[in-house]
Structure formats: C-alpha cells, structure tokens
Amino acid sequence: MRQLMLGNKALARGLYEGGCSIVSSYPGTPSTEVTEEAVKFEEIYCEWAPNEKVALETAFGASLAGKRSFCGMKHVGLNVAADPLFTCSYTGVNGGLIICVADDPAMHSSQNEQDSRHYAIAAKVPMLEPADSAETCEFAKAAYEISEEFDTPVIIRMCTRIAHSQSRPKVILPIVERTEAAILEKAAAFSSLCADCVEWRVDLFDAAADPGAVVRCLAKLRVLLKEKLLLVTLRTKEEGGSIPVSHEGYLRFLRTVLDTDCADLIDIEFFTAGADLPALVQDAHTAGVKVVCSSHDFHKTPPKAELVSRMVVMQQAGADLPKLAVMPQSRADVLELLAATAEMTDHHPETPVITMSMGALGAVSRLCGEAFGSAMTFANPGTASAPGQVGLDVVNAVLDSLRLS
C-alpha cells in the first residue's frame, strides 16, 4: 500500500527494507525522527548514544561484526563524530554502514549553518543527497549496496525540507456523484489519471443512510482504484456537507468503514468527533487506516496561533494528517493560513499537514504546498467538491513547475 511519509520516516523505511540491524544515533532536529521511526521495526535494534562520537563508534563496531548499521545526527554532530568518521573511512567496513547527517539551512532549529558535503570530500566517502521522500527510501537501500561493494561508509545528507516534508504534494481527486453507477464510472476513469488519491464523499451518495449500500459501493471502489489511495469522507452539514448526522450516527459510520478493510485513509472531523477523537484514531490505526483529522471554516480565517494550536491538538490525538480548510476575506487571510502551515512544518513536524484557503482568493494555497508544507491538495477533475479547487491539469503543471528540488 502506498503511504505518505515524511522524509525521515521514509529513510527509516529504507533502512528496514535494506536489512539494517542496528541503529545508534544522537538526537538533534531535523534528524531525530529517523531513529524514532526505525525503532518501530522489531527487526532493528535502536539506541540513543550519549553523544555523536559514541553513536558512530557503536554503528561502526556493528558494521565490523558484519551487521548493516546506521548512525544519525544533525549537522553540528558530525563535528563531534569526525574522529570515527575518518577512522572508518580508511579502515573500511564489513556490513554496510550509513551515516545520516541532517543539515539545517536557514537555521530552523539550530544556532548555525553547516554544509556537511565538505566532510564527505575531506573523508573521501560517498554522499547521497535525496531530493524527496521517495528517493530517501530508495537511497537508503542503495547506500548499503554501495557501502558493501566499495568497502566504505556512505553518508546520506538530509536537510530540513526533505526530513520534515513530503516534497511534491500528493493530488486528491474527489468523487461527488450521487448514484453507485456514476460513482463507479468516475472511479474507473480516475484510476488512470495522474493523481495519487481519490476521496469518496459519502455524504453526497443517495444511499448514504444505508450502511449496506455504502459497504458494497466501497468494496467495488477499492477494486476499481487499484493502487491509488482511497480516502473515505462523510462531511457533516456543520462542516459544509450535504446531510445532517447525529453524533452517534457519525461514529457508527466511521466504524462501519473501518470494518470493511477497504479504506487507506478516513476523514474524522475534529469538532464532530469531540472527546471521542483519540479513541476513533486508535480504532482506525488498529484497522490499519490512516486518519485525516479535518476542520472547516466556510466563513472566516482564524488567527495563525489558533490554526497552529488546532493542528497541534489533532497531532496530540494521534491523527496522521491534520487538515484545515478556511475561507479568506482578504489577501492577509491567505498569508495567515500559509504562515500557519509553514510553522507546523518547521516547528511541529511530527506529522504532515493538509491546508488550504478556499475560494478564488485562496486558490494559490492549493498550488504552493511544497514551499509552505502542505502535503496534499485537491484538484477539480470536472466537478469541484469545495470552492476554489483548480483543474487537475493545471495543478499537476504548477506543482511540477514549482518543485524545490
């Protein structure tokens, strides 16, 4: 199943797929989450070392014993680990050894900048620099092969924007048709379009009140969409949807969807779920479904501090993708939303976020996600599900043109 991953999480996944046995790191933003994610794999032994020198010496020792190993640190940590870096460079390795150093251009969480490429040149070791999350995962596996073939440690250089973002935003296409036949016809057409995810707006389905009809349609959707991610959403009337739903009815719907094993992601409304949000998130995770926790305001744009605070609470409840959609009344409102998005990316990178400023005035926010940190964007494949959605061809063309790497 395809997944949205921060660069650090993708690196941890690459370590797992590459056969890493031992991780020894020293925490420091923006590198910390690599080890925090790696420890989730039972096959990898992970530990924090008292400093970067000890971390690298531990990983180097494991490599000499024939184990594929990893050591992670931030840019200034490589200064502390310089002694074992040069030693393992001229000594060579047995099991593959990856040293991840995360540089922090513009000093989002550091006191100084440093370009770790100079260390690779001085130590005469190869360095790989991934440009996005997908490359990060693949480069980790390739680094082990290079390390063992050429008897050398390999440095993977991350930076804040790669470590804490998903690079090019993923594109979501909404299905807003009312009958099962029309829904399935649209799904078949979407399966071959250049998009990453399809959202089924169940509240627009004529049979939304019939759990059996929803389950049957959902199963058929899963087959038709093939490898595309499927996001299932019941938008309540209070959040801009089509039908009024009681709190109990909303909870029943969510649990019905989770029981189907058909959804990759499920939308859970922040205010509708209320105090039940943490339990619902846990239920979703038990079912192997990621949670988009959403909040919509069709009248205004709250202040940046409120937007950030709301998304942080969503993170604390366990949501995988906090989502905010707000309505701007001025250009300043659009900037407020973008500033909140950037703050989440730079200072609360535990999860990706999805943000958008709605309407024609806010359309730019749907196209600049990579620069500000929104991980996904909705495109209009013919019928929009919200004001301000941009056509699919335009979205893809602009996202490609605005690539940061």
Q: Average pLDDT in the 57-81 region?
A: 96
pLDDT at position 166: 58
Identify the residue with better confidence: 110 or 172. 172
Of the listed ranges 249-253, 283-287, 297-301, 367-371, the one predicted with least confidence: 367-371
Is the pTM value of this prediction over 0.85?
no
Q: Average pLDDT in the 90-119 region?
A: 90
Identify the residue with better confidence: 345 or 202. 202
Mean residue pLDDT of the chain comes to 92
Reported as a pLDDT band with limits 50, 70 and 90, residue 384 is: low
Torsions phi, psi for 317 (to 5 deg): -80, -5
* Helix, strand, coil content of the chain in percent (nearest 5): 45, 20, 35
CA–CA dist 282, 318 (Å, integer):
8
Torsions phi, psi for 161 (to 5 deg): -70, -30
- Asked if the model's pLDDT at residue 336 lies above 90, the reply is yes
Catalytic residue among 67, 170, 228, 323: 323
Identify the residue with better confidence: 143 or 347. 143
- Asked if the model's pLDDT at residue 344 lies above 60, the reply is yes
pLDDT at position 187: 95
The SS3 call for residue 13 is helix
CA–CA dist 129, 49 (Å, integer):
25
pLDDT at position 349: 80
Q: Average pLDDT in the 365-373 region?
A: 88
- Asked if the model's pLDDT at residue 319 lies above 80, the reply is yes
> Is residue 312 within 8 Å of residue 341, measured between CB atoms?
no
Amino acid found at 1? M
Reported as a pLDDT band with limits 50, 70 and 90, residue 180 is: very high
Reported as a pLDDT band with limits 50, 70 and 90, residue 78 is: very high
Q: Average pLDDT in the 195-208 region?
A: 95
Q: Is 323 a catalytic residue?
A: yes
> Is residue 205 within 8 Å of residue 257, measured between CB atoms?
no
CATH, domain range 170-401: 3.20.20.70
Domain with CATH 3.40.50.970 in the chain: 7-163
- Asked if the model's pLDDT at residue 161 lies above 70, the reply is yes
- Packing angle between helix 82-91 and helix 52-64, nearest 10 degrees? 20
Distance of CA 285 to the CA centre of its chain: 16
Q: Which CATH class is domain 7-163?
A: alpha beta
- Asked if the model's pLDDT at residue 154 lies above 80, the reply is yes
CA–CA dist 265, 225 (Å, integer):
14
**Which distant-in-sequence residues (6+ apart) come within 8 Å of 232 by Cβ?**
199, 200, 202, 218, 257, 262, 263, 265, 266, 267
pLDDT at position 7: 86
Q: In what order do the strands lie in the sheet with 321-326?
A: 354-357, 321-326, 290-297, 265-269, 229-233, 197-201, 170-175, 376-380, 390-391
Q: Is 124 a catalytic residue?
A: no
Catalytic residue among 9, 53, 290, 296: 296
- Asked if the model's pLDDT at residue 112 lies above 80, the reply is yes
- Asked if the model's pLDDT at residue 143 lies above 70, the reply is yes
